[in-house]
Chain A
Amino acid sequence: MTIAIVLLAVVVGAYLVAVLERWSVHGQFSLSGPAVSALALLGRESLLARTPDRLFFEAGPILLLVAGLLGAAVIPLAPGLIITDLATGALFLNAALAYVLVALIMAGWGPNGAYGLIGGWRFLGQFIAYAMLIVMPITAVAMRAESLMNTQIVLSQTQLWNIAYQPLGFVLFVVAAMGLAWLPPLDLPSAPGDLAGGVEAEYTGVRLGILRLARMVIILVMASATVTFYLGGWLGPVLPAWAWSAIKTLIVAALMLFGGRYVPRVREARYLAISWKLGISLSLANILLVGVIALVVPI
């Protein structure tokens, strides 16, 4: 029962993220827009490129969707409303999201097209830039919560949300999450206007539909992970717990979707340099700072 409710929440959430994405890209708010696009994609032909690596081509979108849903499975929406409350939840989220890289490289390699392949390889470079900035802030969160269990991490923020306790970690995590979900300005693998769609270039029809759905789920998972780790998850006054999760997740998703549109696209080499020179130093400083605070202050 719980599983059905959470999956329904993921479907509704992914749909609302699609509405937000459409709003941020085309500037028009339309609740029916993504449904119309999905039906149109369902009706179109789904071509197979001339000499594809069939296995990789088919596996790419499916693996991306699986990675997103496995990530969603360990995120609590309310007390008890979680598919599996793993003892290593925060670590499992990392492990699931590592497959985003594999799926995108498969999707780029599969159709044997130049644009797709360049998009896939670019994402490998991007992965090396964002990966450490996802895991290191989560370590600082786990230090405060004394647990990797995601419900425990939310409960540790009862007195003070982590965004106030470790604001540096919040900023690093959100930017890295935007890199993981390849949102602008870090949208190198798809790069509209530059790579003719990149990894999406050779996908048409229903396969493209699955690829887009998977991406919406990934964006939703990154937004709700930010809420779980930094914004107190379901905690909040008056409204029921699930409503707080929903509101916060949508706000973070809107922030990630709209915010990056005002920044020019960052090249892979520059992104690597910034992440390793500035990002790693800051996240090590964050761990040290949280370490000192956690020993001095009891909350």
Chain B
Amino acid sequence: MTALAQYAILLGLTLGTVAFVYAVYALARVIGRVQPEPGKDVPATAGTLSRDPVWVRYHAKYYGYALLFLAFDMEMAFMYPWAVVYREEGLVALLDMGVFLAILFLGLLYGWSQGALRRQ
């Protein structure tokens, strides 16, 4: 099977899942509809209307981690192809990636020493 045919199957699976979900929704609608009643559609906030708007800006207190995460996530893009040819290339591959990972790990340690690894 070609790669394109495989992805076509995965696309079909996605569309089929969406169709399945809407079929279940249709079945539920046949069984009964929502009765409009006052106060029923208020989001759960301990029985009262929400005092403050919910869609506001939140402080991402984990931003130190998030920045380090970007660096590590980029590293993974290199790691996967490297892992596949690792045994073929042998010691060279180990040393190459070892240096790269050592630099990255030093970066993590530096970030740690500067207080990046805590909730700000």
- Residues in B neighbouring A1, C-beta threshold 8 A: none
Q: Flag if A43 contacts B14 (CB, 8 Å).
A: no
Q: Flag if B10 contacts A65 (CB, 8 Å).
A: no
Q: A125-B62, A284-B101 are in contact. Are A86 and B3 (CB under 8 A)?
A: yes
Count contacts on A: residues with CB < 8 A to the other chain.
70
Asked if A292 CB lies within 8 Å of chain B CBs, one says: yes
Identify which of A62, A83, A132 contacts B13 (C-beta below 8 A).
A83
Asked if A241 CB lies within 8 Å of chain B CBs, one says: no
Q: Flag if A209 contacts B24 (CB, 8 Å).
A: yes
Q: Flag if B98 contacts A288 (CB, 8 Å).
A: yes
Asked if A24 CB lies within 8 Å of chain B CBs, one says: no
Q: A43-B31, A50-B41 are in contact. Are A65 and B21 (CB under 8 A)?
A: yes
Complex alpha-carbon distance, A85 and B2, angstroms: 10
Complex alpha-carbon distance, A280 and B112, angstroms: 12
> DSSP majority for the B interface?
helix
Identify which of A42, A84, A148, A287 contacts B27 (C-beta below 8 A).
A42
Complex alpha-carbon distance, A148 and B18, angstroms: 28
Cβ proximity bits A179-214 to B, threshold 8 Å, 1 near / 0 not: 000000000000000001100011001110110000
- What is the minimal beta-carbon distance from B67 to any residue of chain A, in angstroms? 10
Q: A115-B45, A132-B72, A206-B28 are in contact. Are A294 and B54 (CB under 8 A)?
A: no
Count class of interface residues, chain B:
35 or more
Q: A46-B34, A70-B14, A276-B108 are in contact. Are A210 and B80 (CB under 8 A)?
A: no
Q: Flag if A84 contacts B54 (CB, 8 Å).
A: no
Q: Flag if A70 contacts B10 (CB, 8 Å).
A: yes
- Residues in B neighbouring A287, C-beta threshold 8 A: 101
- Residues in A neighbouring B79, C-beta threshold 8 A: 135-136, 139
Q: A47-B34, A50-B42 are in contact. Are A284 and B105 (CB under 8 A)?
A: yes
Q: Flag if B87 contacts A294 (CB, 8 Å).
A: yes
Q: Which residue of B lies closest to A280 (CB)?
A: B108
- What is the minimal beta-carbon distance from B20 to any residue of chain A, in angstroms? 8
Q: Flag if B43 contacts A202 (CB, 8 Å).
A: yes
Q: Which of B50, B55, B87, B105 has the most CB of A within 10 A?
A: B87
Q: Flag if A146 contacts B41 (CB, 8 Å).
A: no
Q: Flag if A128 contacts B62 (CB, 8 Å).
A: yes
Q: A113-B54, A277-B112, A280-B108 are in contact. Are A139 and B34 (CB under 8 A)?
A: no
Q: Flag if A47 contacts B43 (CB, 8 Å).
A: no
Seed contacts A62-B21, A129-B65, A146-B84; 15 additional CB < 8 Å A-B pairs: A45-B33, A48-B41, A61-B21, A69-B14, A84-B10, A109-B55, A113-B44, A143-B86, A206-B27, A210-B21, A273-B117, A277-B112, A284-B101, A291-B97, A295-B91
Identify the 3 closest CB pairs spanning chains A and B, nearest first: A113-B43, A206-B28, A269-B119
